[in-house]
Each structure stands twice: as structure tokens, then as C-alpha cells.
Amino acid sequence: MTVTYRILGPLAPAVTAGRDRIVLAMLLLHPERVVSVGELVGAVWGEDPPPTARSQLQACVSRLRRVLPAGAIVTDPAGYRLRIGPDELDAQIFERLVSRAREAGDAGLFREALDLWRGEALVGIDSRPVRAAAAVLDDRFAAAAAEWAGLELGAGHDQELIGELSVLVERFPLRERLRGQLIRALAGAGRTADALAEFRRAREVLRDELGIEPGRELQELHRRVLEGGEQGAERVRCLPRTVGDFTGREDVVAVVLAGLDRTDPAIAVIDGMPGSGKTTLALHLASLVGDRYPDAHLYVDLRGADQPVEPSAALLILLRQLGVAAKAVPEDLDGRVAMWRTELARRRALVVLDNANSSAQLADLMPTLPGTLALVTSRRRLVGLDGVHPVSLPVLPPGDALTLLARIAGDRVRAEPEAAAEVVRRCGGLPLALRLAGARLAHRPRWRVADLLRRLGGPALPELAAEDRSVADAFALSYRQLPPGPQRVFVLLGLHPGADFDAPSVAALTGLSLDEAADMLDDLIDVHLVDDPEPRVYRLHDLLREFAAALAADLPEPERAGALLGVLDHQLHATSATVTRGARSTLDHDLRSQVPLRPDLLEALDDPSARLERERRNLAHYVDAADAAGLADYTWQIPRAAWRYLWTHGYIDDVAGLYRRALAVAERNRDRWATATALNYLASAVYRRGEIDAAITLMERCLRIREEIGDGDGVSISLGNLAASYYQAGRWRKAMELAAGMTRNTTQKRSLSEANTRLNVQAICSRRLGDLPTSIRYYRLRLLAQLEIGDQIHVQDTLMALAAIRYQAGELAAGEALRRIGLMLRLHQREGFGYAEADGHDEVAHVLQAEGRFAEAVAHHRLAIEVALTNRDPHQESRFRSGLGVTLLGLGDRAAARAEFTEALRLGRRLRLPYPIALAQVGLGDCDEPDDPAEARRLWTQARDALAELEAPELAAVERRLAGGEDHLHPTAGRGTMVG
């Protein structure tokens, strides 16, 4: 640490000229901030500066620049700024040290901060703004000194403090806290007469200077000294040793301290799960505020999680700590309560009531008079206590958890950051687990962190133990205190596959009613065996989940199987509730109309889609649990129920991962229906990724299986999806042929749904082929089918496409087309249908582009690309980038256009799709034509051949280019859809 600038005392570096000193002082008081010319002039000359003030100020700055490091003073239009490095200004270092000292309750850090001072701040500089700012710094010094002295007094260093406190009181005679600390130090050192004399001096100073009497705390202190209650020999110190590596919890500490400052007597209640560090925090808080309660620091373990101590026995312990002889303690509870309150009334006392069991256990132990503090810890939420400051202790965040592990285990943790981070994750941020893991490392000097991590790779709880302490034992204490009902629910939660859960799923798991399950969860929350991270959502800490699972392993197999079946079946039907009426017939076909085991729980679902969004991260766990338990149908049925939501919201990786799992199980079990279903929906994910050849291969395999097993409706579904894949591949005639064959297989029950899919394929292919009237006719027929089905999302999609095509065909004016498309686009955004949202922006962009509104079009092209990237749809992205390139050419920005066409070509080639490739080649030819006509003709020729084979309407524009005419390419928008 190299200090370049000092303001905590005389100014340094030393500057001779008085005005230069003021200017430097002002810059140092506001480091890295532009100090205006007006502020500097006011500081130097006050309210009556000379006419030459500005030029004289410039001269001051020039002289300072010769003294300071090069480039230190930066000129700004408004004034000047002084560049300061992180360790160059003593005031900044002081603030950092004080902040760390307060967080850690570390007297040594306070001492280090105070040692930076060499007298009054900026002493000798006579300028009103400088003196005002220096007074603020002096106040901060006094506050830090008082906090340091409080910690030292709490540690019993009375004699050693007297000299320094005397100097501080002389410097800050009106600071009552410092006066009080000096009086305590004198009394604690046995110098009662000096302590009383110091109080008299304080009274005289306050009367003479301010015309007031000493405050209540100072007068109370004076009374106790008179009565002999402040002498060191009578102090009681019964708190256990606290840890020296207390880490984190800054926010919690701040909240608790703020609450304690607002009430007297003060009572803080700290609750949290077993091993969360409640006692450690309580003792840390006691060390921070102990000097406020100098007479007695008391402690009793109420053993709330094991064999709760009776209030009468707890009072005996506390009274004996206060020095009351055993034979003087009353036998009856009322007598002990009266004596306890009488003894507290004579003292400023702090009491830690650790590990409380209930509010009733605490009722007679709580302080009732001012001047006392109770710090209560409990594994349960003590909702029956009034007038307290409750705080529930969370686990440590990863950064603090890693710091704690390093403080316990040393440099090995810093040397292996990735392994250490994984150890922290396996411990779940639980302080007890981290301490035990760190202790294992600390006592095994030859272990690397990776060695510990390997030990934690299996069941972690057996490894998190040291001598008679273990995480499992801490959990077991809380578990054994539960009544039978919550005990059973906790054990069964060890079988729940999800990372979190709601009350209906717990009801399905346990066989309880919804109200009973909610009540049991409340009981488990109260004892911190279950957490509620958001309203009506619950979870187990990872280590508690392992503990519960170990208990569940001892349950009879039928009970285990029934519990898992209940939760999987509820998940299937709760997920199915997200499917719209228009898509229900396809779902019913695939699932073969499953009947729920618990229909009563489905009635309680408020928002199935919001629930599925939360459950999305658990779906793979459900599939794996179903597979492990031999409940194979759920391995494909749950993904099938979730498919439409996942697909329309762009969760394509989820779809692919779930269906690869489902396909493996179906093939292993030789279940052809399940295999065909898994192939169909796995193909949808591959299709959206732009891997069209792979999607076609999967769909053709699915189609063969469905034909072989005689699933006519399934054949029709597969034909529709295969048609969509051929459409995306640019084989539009083949796609229409496949779509036309759908009606030969479907049943009457599914005719509307199949008509919807068939008409969609025919509409988009007709548009691609340039037959706009036929496309409009198919879209209108599709709209009628969708309205009858009640498929609102796809009604919006069809109306958006109709508006765009009718504009393209000259049936709608641009303004009306934009209004209609914009309305549907907003609805898609609200529904979260990302694929259609991207197409909507693209449709708007094409209308704006055709109207010559290029800048507005660019904005919508970019929004379309952004959504496509979010959806991870490279086919859309390639097409959209070509459209953006055309618009950028319209703006005359060839360089930007070339970049878009180049990326579109790269994507098209990666996907091996001729239409996106051809569009990009045409655009690149347009970019090259002014500088390299030969290269432009080569690209246009390649594009012409591909567009001719596709029968794409853009072919005519390319042929006009090759014939020497001017034309711009307007790639048509379009959409594909999979059935489900």
C-alpha cells in the first residue's frame, strides 16, 4: 500500500503557496470528481473573488501539476478532476478499512484505520468549504474510534484504553459515547473516583458549551458507577468462544443491528435450518454490541431440538451466572422469574438464549426493562413472540461460502477454484457443512480439494462429519421433534423427483388432501426443513433432500412406488392442462386419453402455463425417475404433454433432451407406439434447429411405424409434419403432395385438426411458389377450421399471414396491413409464441421495405433476428438476415449489407437448404456488382439455377439481373409448423 496523498492530518504532498494548498485540498476531498471552477474560486477567495480569479486559479493548477505525478490533474470544461489510484489517498483507505472492520467486528482493522490519522484533517488550511469537509472527516474518525473502543472494552482491555480514551475525549469533548467509554474503562480498572470525576467534567462541558445535561445513557452509567455496578470485578462474561473466521452475513447483521437500535429492551430472534450458523451469528452480534451492555453477557443453551430445558432450569442457570448463590435461588418458577427480572433491572445485560424450542419456553426468560438485549436462536419460526425483530437465516451465497472454506482450509482452496466451487455447491452453502468439509481438508494436508470433491461425489452426508459433529445428526435432531404427520411428508419428499414442488404435487405424492398437504408444508417450513423461495413454491436443501431420501429408502416398496406414481401422474395431467382446446385432439390421440388418478388436484390449478414454466427445469428429473421406477409410460407421456408449451416458447433444447431420453426408454422396452411418438416430437426439435435432413429421416421412420401398427390418425399427423419438413427443405411441391394425402388416413374425430395442418402447408407452399390467390384461399379455409377448433394462437398467426399476403397481392394498403400485422404481433408477444413473433417482425419489415421506409424496416429486421437467435432457429435467422441485407442496400450501406448476406449464406450452407442459400447469393451479387460484375454474375447464376429448381417467384428478378436489368429481391416471408 503506497499512500501518495494525505488529508487525515497535515496536507501531503506539502505545497507552500496557500492558494495552491486550498485547491489541492478541494481536489483531494472530491477524488475522481470534477470540481467546478466556481467551487474552487469560492474555496480560495470566498464570496468576493477578484476579477482575475479564473486566471489565478489556472496558475495554481499549473504549479500543482509540476508537483504532482504527470497527468494527475485532468482539465474538464466545467473544472478540474484529480486522478486517484485505489491505494493513493489515505481517506479512501480509511473508509475501506472501517467498512471491513464493521463487517467483521475486528478491533485490529479499526486500529489499522485509526493509525492513518496524524492529527485533525487538513489542519492549517483556512477555507470554509475545506474546513466543513474536514469536520465531516473528523466526525468519521471519532465514530470509528468509539466503535474500536467498544470492541476493546468488550474484550476487557479497560486499563490499556484509559490513556487513549483520555486523548480522544480531550479532542472531542462533546462526544458522550467516548466520555462514557472512558468512564467505563476507569471504573473497570478499579478507579471509581476518577470515573465519577470524569462524569462531573462531562456535565460541566455539556452545560457550558451546549446548555444541556448529559444524556440518559451517560446518567445511567453514572448511577451504576455510584452503586459499584460498573467495576470490572463484578462484570459477568459467560458467552462461549465465537469463531475467528466469521464470514459474510453483512445484510443480515445490518438488519438486526438496525432493529436493535429502534427498541429498548431489544430482542432479536434468529431462526434457520439446522447448520445454518444461527449461534455463530448471535455470538458475532454480541461481540459487535457487547460494549453497550457492560454489566453482564449471559448464555444458556435451551436444547430446543433435543430435550428442551424447562424455563425454571434455564432461570437457575442464568441466575447462577449472575453470581446468585444456589441456595438463594427460589424453588418455584414465579420466584425465579421475579429474581431474574430484579437482577436484570440493576444491570445493562446481554443474554443469548440459544436453540429455543418454542415461544412458551421463552416467555419467562425475556427481558422486560430498558438497558437489556436478548439474542434468541431457534430452528423453528417463533411466531408467538411479540415485539421482536425476527430474521430467517439463509444459506451462504457462493462467494461467501467459498471465502469461509478458504479461511478454514487455507491456500489449497484458492489453488483449485473449480473444485472448490463444486465443493461449495455440494455443501449447498450450509455453514456447518462447509466447516466440516473444510476441517477434513485442514486435517489432511496431503489431500487436494479434488480429493475431497471425489469423496463428496456419492452420498455427501457420511463425509460431512468430524468426531461427534455431523450434518446428518443436526438434521436428525429437527426431524425427531416433528409430529408423525409432518415426519411422513418429509420422508416422502425424499422421493419427489423435482428440485422444487407445490402443494398439489405434495398431495399427489402423499395421498393427502390439498389442504392437509398445505398444512404439513407449513409445519415443515416453521422448522426450516422445507423452504419457500417464492409464494406457493417449496423446496428442500440438497443435503436435506439426501437426508430425506435416506429415510425414504426404509419405507415399504409399495408405499414408495405408490408415492412416485401419484406425483408422476399429477405432473402428466397438470402439464396436459396447458394444451389449448385446438391442440387437444392430437394430445388425446398420442396419450390415448389417460384418466388422472387425482382429478381433485387439477381443479386447484390457477395458471397451468405458469406452473409448467416453473416445472420446466424438473421435467428431465421426472422422466429419469419414471425410468428408474419402471413406470415407462410416463417417460414419454410427460414430455408429450409439455411439448406444445416448450415448442411454442422456443425451449427447443428441452424438447430434444426430453425426447432423446424418451426414445431410448421406448426402444429398450420395444414399445412401438411410444417409439413413434418420441420420433415425431424429437423430429420437431431437430426441424427447429434447421437440421432438416435429420428431421425428415426421423419423420419417415415414425411414419413407417405408425403405418405398421395401423395408427391412421398417427399416419396423418406424421404426414403433416413430414410435409412441413419438406417445405422447410425447399421441396414445396412434395410438401403439398404429402399434405394432400393426410385426409385419406384421418378419422372423423380428427378431421378439423388435420385440415388445419394440411391447409397451413398448402397455404405457405403456395405463397413460396408465388401463387398468392391460392395461398390466400388456403389461409382463409384454415382460419375457418381454427375458429371451429378454438385454436386462438394459430388464429392470430393466420390473420397475420393473411394481412401480409393480401398486401403483397395488392389487396390491402400498407397502413392497414401494418395495423393488422402489428396487432397480431403484440398478441404473439403477450402469449410468448416466439416463432410467430419473429415472423411478425419480419412481415412488418417487408411491408416497410416495400414502401421505402428503410430505416424503420431495419429496426424490425433486427428485432426478428434477435427473436430468432433467442429461439435458436437458424433457418429463420438466415432468411431474416437476407431480408435485412436487401433493406441495407436500399439505404446505400453496402458494407453492412454484405455482412448480413455473408452470415445468411454461412447459415444456409450449414443447414444445406437451397432457398436461404440462393437468397444470400443474390444479395452478395448485388453487393459485388458495382466493383466486380463478373463475381456478381457468377453468384446470380448459381442462385438462378437453385431458384429455378425450387420454382421460386424470385427467379424472375434474378433473370432480369442477368439480362442487364435493375431489380431488387424481396424474399417472401413464411412460416412452418409441426402438428401436436
Q: Return the residue matching grid coordinates 410435409.
A: 723
Q: How would you label 548-584 residue by residue, b for 16+ Cβ within 10 Å and e otherwise?
A: bbbbbeebeeeebebbbbbbbbbbbbbbbebbbebbe
- DSSP structural state of residue 788: H
Mean pLDDT of 953-958: 87
Helix (H, G, I), strand (E, B) or coil at 480: helix
730 closest CA partner among 951, 920, 882: 951
pLDDT at 561: 94
pLDDT at 106: 80
374 closest CA partner among 340, 324, 339, 325: 340
What is the C-alpha to C-alpha distance for residues 524 and 481, in angstroms, rounded to an integer? 11
Helix (H, G, I), strand (E, B) or coil at 542: helix
What is the C-alpha to C-alpha distance for residues 20 and 809, in angstroms, rounded to an integer? 78
* Residue 925 scores a pLDDT above 60: yes
Q: What is the DSSP string of 893-919?
A: -HHHHHHHHHHHHHHHHHHT-HHHHHH
* Residue 238 scores a pLDDT above 50: yes
* 674 — pLDDT class (breaks 50, 70, 90): very high
Which is more confidently placed, 79 or 238?
Answer: 79
What is the C-alpha to C-alpha distance for residues 685 and 644, in angstroms, rounded to an integer? 11
- Helices 278-289 and 128-154: angle between axes, nearest 10 degrees: 120
833-837, 893-897, 923-927 — which is least confidently predicted? 833-837
* Residue 980 scores a pLDDT above 70: no
The reply to whether the predicted model has a pTM over 0.75 is no
Element (H, E) at 355: strand 349-356
Query: In this structure, are strands 73-76 and 79-82 parallel, antiparallel, or unpaired?
Result: antiparallel
| E strand residue ranges, 499-575 | 500-501, 531-534, 537-539
What is the C-alpha to C-alpha distance for residues 237 and 295, in angstroms, rounded to an integer? 9
What is the C-alpha to C-alpha distance for residues 239 and 759, in angstroms, rounded to an integer? 80
275, 432 Cβ separation under 8 angstroms: yes
The three cell numbers of residue 24 are 489541492
Q: Give Cβ neighbours of residue 764 (< 8 Å, ≥ 6 apart).
A: 727, 775, 801, 974, 975, 976
Mean pLDDT of the chain: 86
599, 533 Cβ separation under 8 angstroms: no
What is the C-alpha to C-alpha distance for residues 496 and 524, in angstroms, rounded to an integer? 15
Element (H, E) at 372: strand 372-378
Strand partners, 73: 82
* 465 — pLDDT class (breaks 50, 70, 90): confident
- DSSP structural state of residue 11: -
* 965 — pLDDT class (breaks 50, 70, 90): low
pLDDT at 233: 42
Mean pLDDT of 197-209: 87
pLDDT at 232: 45
7, 91 Cβ separation under 8 angstroms: yes
155-164, 306-315, 340-349, 751-760 — which is least confidently predicted? 751-760
Q: Return the residue matching grid coordinates 399427423.
A: 717
What is the C-alpha to C-alpha distance for residues 241 and 420, in angstroms, rounded to an integer? 28
Cα separation values, 12 from 8, 84, 113, Å: 9, 14, 18
Cα separation values, 632 from 37, 568, 589, 625, 711, Å: 78, 11, 18, 10, 21
Half-sphere exposure of 593 (CA within 13 A, CB side): 1
pLDDT at 747: 53
Query: Quick check: bond before 49 cis, omega within 30?
Result: no
For residue 680, how far is the Cα from the chain centroid?
Answer: 36
What is the C-alpha to C-alpha distance for residues 31 and 15, in angstroms, rounded to an integer? 18
pLDDT in tens, 147-168: 888 888 877 677 888 888 998 8
356, 378 Cβ separation under 8 angstroms: yes
CA angle 143, 144, 150 (to 5 degrees): 90
**% residues pLDDT > 90 (the chain):** 33
Mean pLDDT of 105-132: 89
Mean pLDDT of 852-877: 88
* Residue 788 scores a pLDDT above 50: yes
The three cell numbers of residue 273 are 435450518
Burial of 967 (0-12, 13-18, 19+ CB in 10 A): middle
Burial of 167 (0-12, 13-18, 19+ CB in 10 A): exposed
Half-sphere exposure of 163 (CA within 13 A, CB side): 1
Contacts by 63-68 with C-beta closer than 8 Å and gap 24+?
A: 63/17, 63/20, 64/15, 64/20, 64/23, 64/24, 67/13, 67/15, 68/13
820 closest CA partner among 844, 842, 836: 844
701, 679 Cβ separation under 8 angstroms: yes
pLDDT in tens, 309-322: 899 888 988 888 88
Going 857 to 860 to 862 to 868, the CA torsion angle's sign is: negative
pLDDT at 597: 92
Question: Quick count: other Cβ atoms within 10 Å of Cβ 501?
Answer: 25
Contacts by 94-103 with C-beta closer than 8 Å and gap 24+?
A: 94/8, 94/140, 94/141, 94/144, 95/140, 98/140, 98/144, 101/144, 101/147, 101/148, 102/147, 103/250, 103/253
Question: Quick count: other Cβ atoms within 10 Å of Cβ 440?
Answer: 20
Element (H, E) at 141: helix 128-154
Helix (H, G, I), strand (E, B) or coil at 768: helix
Mean pLDDT of 643-667: 92
pLDDT at 1: 45
* Residue 332 scores a pLDDT above 70: yes
- Radius of gyration of the chain from its Cα atoms, rounded to whole angstroms: 38
Element (H, E) at 76: strand 73-76
What is the C-alpha to C-alpha distance for residues 892 and 914, in angstroms, rounded to an integer? 27
pLDDT in tens, 258-299: 887 777 888 889 888 888 888 888 888 888 888 888 888 999
pLDDT at 563: 95
pLDDT in tens, 293-306: 888 899 989 888 77
What is the C-alpha to C-alpha distance for residues 113 and 108, in angstroms, rounded to an integer? 9
pLDDT in tens, 536-545: 899 998 889 9
771, 804 Cβ separation under 8 angstroms: no
pLDDT in tens, 216-235: 888 888 887 877 655 544 57
Which is more confidently placed, 611 or 245?
Answer: 611
436 closest CA partner among 477, 455, 407, 408: 408
